[in-house]
Amino acid sequence: MWQRGRMSHTAPVDVDLALVGGGGAASLVLAALDRRGIRGLRVAVVDPVHRRGQDRTWAFWGRPGGDLDPLLSASWRQVEVVTPAARRTLDLAPLRYAMLRSGPLYDRAAEAERRLGVTRVVAAVDRVDDDGERALVRTAGGGPTVRAGWVLDSRPRPPARPGRTRWLQHFRGWWLAADRPVFDPGRAVLMDFRTRQPSRGVSFGYVLPVSDRYALVEYTEFGPTLLSGAGYDAALAGYRDLLGLDPARLTVREVENGVIPMTDGPFVARPSPRVVRLGTAGGATRPSTGFTFSAMRRQAEQIAAALAAGRPPVPAPAYPRRHRWMDAVALRALDRGPVGGPEFFDRLFDRNPAERVLRFLDGTTTPAEELAVMRSTRPLPMVAATAGDALHRLRDRLRPPRPAPPVPAPVRDGAAPVPPDRAGA
């Protein structure tokens, strides 16, 4: 169960820092600690799964340069936002949209683990007890324990209480290989709203090309309920057809499924003095978009900088409070109100420089820029949503607290249709 070299232990181990959960957020922390050359810090990672290889693809924007650049599969200076009415090409300079597959990041984290001399515990954690001086990480079934000065906990969990809006971003993507050039590797499709819109929620397709013959093509919905496996396949096939791609000339090489919470339910980032929650569990997922990666990366850098300076590894909140409020209002307007998703996003990109919208979605704009972004939405539905949100908050205060339901697992069945003549290609 313990792995440091090939040694076996049963006694508790003392470390300075325990990473509970070793997925995206923890991998970014390990890479950031290593990049800063931090040595002599006793670190443990506790996770029942040692993440390796491809289990997700991260797309995010930012300035070019930095330690992740060599790991990227692709990046684009230009992206398209498509509605039934218009096709908009956005120049993102000085930013760019980038794709990082999980394999290279997990490899980078493994390299960092070796250099940092990390102790890896392959076990599920079921409790973390914090006495204010140290935290005791207990693994399931009375397994080994880790005593840590600080715990960074990224185990998936629902928000502390149900959100006023409880949507999910749920999706299926196909990695498509074509037998001739059909994709434009010079630009990605960020959001294509020509897909059939669900009765409640928003849907869109997108295309992330890594070459003129290879791309991730995905169908995404923002909404309260998942589709069936066959439903995702039908929606993806529909989007593929909308792109004018001939299924007979394509091979589905991989399928990617996911569910990400989109909610204004609160994710508690500091449950006790020595425990910090990270990643989706710590509120790094932007409620209005599901984007998480940039906030996780920002917080990983803050943690590494703090430790390098001998300070507690406590990052700033993933998003400013006013952004969480704006997201609550936007989600409400999309869910209850007369604001259509395609129209909402189209207006954002139509009336603001792309770079401002992207920084807004990352939570790094100034209040003046946020006002400009807010002004680009239709005022009346937003005022109604603001009032509705305020009333709902008041009602919530008067109700006894209730637990939030867990985020459902992604639907994996309903295999992608591979043309029989291409199977195994």
Ligand X SMILES: Cc1cc2nc3c(=O)[nH]c(=O)nc-3n(C[C@H](O)[C@H](O)[C@H](O)COP(=O)(O)OP(=O)(O)OC[C@H]3O[C@@H](n4cnc5c(N)ncnc54)[C@H](O)[C@@H]3O)c2cc1C
By CB under 6 A, is residue 31 in contact with ligand X?
Answer: no
- Report how far residue 148's alpha carbon sits from residue 344's, in angstroms, rounded to the nearest whole number: 46
Q: Which residues, at least 6 apart from 142, have a Cβ–Cβ distance to it below 8 Å?
A: none
Q: In angstroms, what is the minimal distance from the CB of 48 to ligand X?
A: 6
User: Residue from 108, 155, 194, 277 that binds ligand X (CB under 6 A)?
Assistant: 155
Among 12, 14, 49, 409, binds ligand X (CB under 6 A): 49
Q: Does 315 bind ligand X (CB under 6 A)?
A: no
Q: How would you write 142-193 as a 3-class SS string?
A: HCCEEEEEEEEECCCCCCCCCCCCEEEEEEEEEEEEECCCCCCCCEEEEEEC
- Is there binding between residue 125 and ligand X (CB under 6 A)? yes
Interaction between residue 318 and ligand X (CB under 6 A): no
Q: Which of 263, 24, 12, 273 is nearest to 136 (CA)?
A: 12
> Contact between 46 and ligand X (CB under 6 A)?
yes
Rounded Cα distance between 388 and 383, Å, is 9
Q: Is 372 in the site for ligand X (CB under 6 A)?
A: no
3-state secondary structure of 93: coil
* 192 near ligand X, rule: CB under 6 A: no
Tokens of 313: 């590894």
> Is residue 178 a contact residue for ligand X (CB under 6 A)?
no
- Pick from 13, 17, 47, 385 the residue near ligand X by CB under 6 A: 47
Among 2, 34, 60, 267, binds ligand X (CB under 6 A): 60
Under the criterion CB under 6 A, does residue 239 sit at the interface with ligand X? no
* Number of residues counted as binding ligand X (CB under 6 A): 31
Q: Which is nearer to ligand X, 59 or 215 (CB)?
A: 59
Q: Compute the least distance from the CB of residue 393 to ligand X, in Å.
A: 26
Q: Is 88 in the site for ligand X (CB under 6 A)?
A: no
* Residues 256 to 295 in contact with ligand X, rule: CB under 6 A: 256, 258, 260, 279-281, 291-293
Q: C-beta of 284: minimal distance to ligand X in Å?
A: 7
Which range binds ligand X by CB under 6 A, 87-95, 225-233, 252-260, 353-361?
A: 252-260
Taking the C-alpha atoms of residue 416 and residue 425, their distance in angstroms, rounded to an integer, is 15
90 binds ligand X (CB under 6 A): no
Separation between Cα atoms, residue 150 and residue 18, nearest integer Å: 6
The two tokens of residue 49 are 């799964």
Q: Which residues of 3-30 are buried (b: 16+ CB within 10 A; e: fewer)?
A: beeeeeeeeebebebbbbbbbbbbbbbb
Question: What is d(CA 353, CA 222) in angstroms, rounded to the nearest whole number?
Answer: 24
What residues line the site for ligand X (CB under 6 A)?
A: 20-26, 46-49, 51, 56, 58-60, 124-125, 154-156, 256, 258, 260, 279-281, 291-293, 296
